[in-house]
Structure 1
Amino acid sequence: MGVKSVNEMVAEAKTRIDNISPAEAHRRVTEEGALIVDIRDVRELQRDGAIVGSTHAPRGMLEFWVSPDSPYTKAEFQEGRELILSCAAGGRSALSADTLQDMGVAKVSHIETGFAGWRADGFAVTDYDTFRSQR
C-alpha cells in the first residue's frame, strides 16, 4: 500500500467538517463572536499579512494550545467560541479542523478558500507588524 495523497486527505476531511466562505466567516465573527485562527507559518504572516482580529496558532502547536490538559494550553482556545481556522488556501485548515473535531472541539470550521480567498473577497487584512502590536 502506498502513501495516501495529501489531496485525498484534504478531500476526505472536507466531507466531515464545516467548510465556509470568507463572507460566512466574517458574519460568524461579527454576529456570533467566533474567533479566526490563522494556522500559517509565521513567515507567511510576515510576508502576506494577517486577517484583522484573528489570532495566530502555528499548525504544529494548534492541538497543544487547544488541549485543556496540555502544558501549552492557551486561554483563548478554552472560551467555547467557534474556532474558524484559516491557512493560505484551505488545505491545512481543513486537516486541522478535522483533527480538532476528533479532539472534541464542539464548534470548529475553516475558511475553504483560506487567507487568499479572504483577501480576494476584500475583507480586512493588516501587515504583520500591526498584527503583532495588537496582540
Structure 2
Amino acid sequence: MLRYSDMVSNCLERVREIMPWDLVDRMKENPSLMILDVREPGEFEAMHIPGSLNVARGILESACEWDFEETVPDLVRAREREIVVVCRSGRRSVLAVDTMQQMGYADVVSLKTGLRGWNDYDEPFEDGSGVGVSPSVADSFFLSGVRPDQTSSHERS
C-alpha cells in the first residue's frame, strides 16, 4: 500500500521543482509564464499569487482537455507554455506536474515549499477580489492546522 508521502516521493523522480526565488526570476524573465494554483477554490479565494490561475487538483485532468464541463481553454492551449504549479506545501503540485507531464505538457515544474515558502520569502499575495493580503494574515493562514485526531499517533491510542 502506498501512502500519500510515498506517492509524492515517487513523482519526484520525474518532476522538476523550483524554489520561490527562482519563480520570482522566471516571472521577470518570462511575462507569459503561467502560474497554476491547484488548491481548492476556497483556499485560492483567501489568497494566491497575483495573476495565477486556479484549477483544483481534483478536476485537473478534465480541465486540461477539451470537451469536458471542467475544460479551461487557457490551460488546454498551454501545453508548450512554461507553467509553474503551486499549492500550499508543494505536495499536491508535485502530483499535478506528474499528471500534466503524462498529458503532454512540455515545460511544467512544481514550486518547492509551495505557497508557504513563497510567503516565507515575503512575496505578495492577493485575495479573490484582487486586494493585497497583509503578511500577518498570510502568516496565520499558512500555520499548520493538523488537529490531534488527524495524526497517526492518535490512531494508535
TM more than 0.5: yes
CA RMSD of aligned residues (A): 1.6
Compute the displacement of 1:70 (Å): 4.1
- In terms of fraction of residues, the more strand-rich structure is 1
- Cα deviations across residues 66-94 of structure 1 (Å, max 9, x unaligned)? 12454543221113321211010011000
Query: Do the aligned partners of 1:29 and 1:36 also contact (CA within 8 Å) in 2?
Result: no
Higher Cα radius of gyration: 2
| Greater relative CO (CA pairs within 8 A, separation 6+) | 1
SS in 2 for 1:51: coil
Query: Do the aligned partners of 2:37 and 2:53 also contact (CA within 8 Å) in 1?
Result: yes
User: What CA distance in whole angstroms lies between the structure 1 residues aligned with 2:63 and 2:45?
Assistant: 21
Q: TM-score, normalising length from structure 1?
A: 0.85
Percent identity between the aligned chains? 30
Q: How many residues align?
A: 128
Q: Give the ranges of 4+ consecutive aligned residues of structure 1 lying more than 6 Å apart after TM superposition.
A: none
Match for residue 101 of structure 1?
101
User: What CA distance in whole angstroms lies between the structure 2 residues aligned with 1:37 and 1:95?
Assistant: 13
Structure 1: give runs of 5+ residues left out of the alignment: none
User: What CA distance in whole angstroms lies between the structure 1 residues aligned with 2:45 and 2:122?
Assistant: 19
- Cα deviations across residues 52-79 of structure 1 (Å, max 9, x unaligned)? 1111111112121112454543221113
Match for residue 92 of structure 1?
92
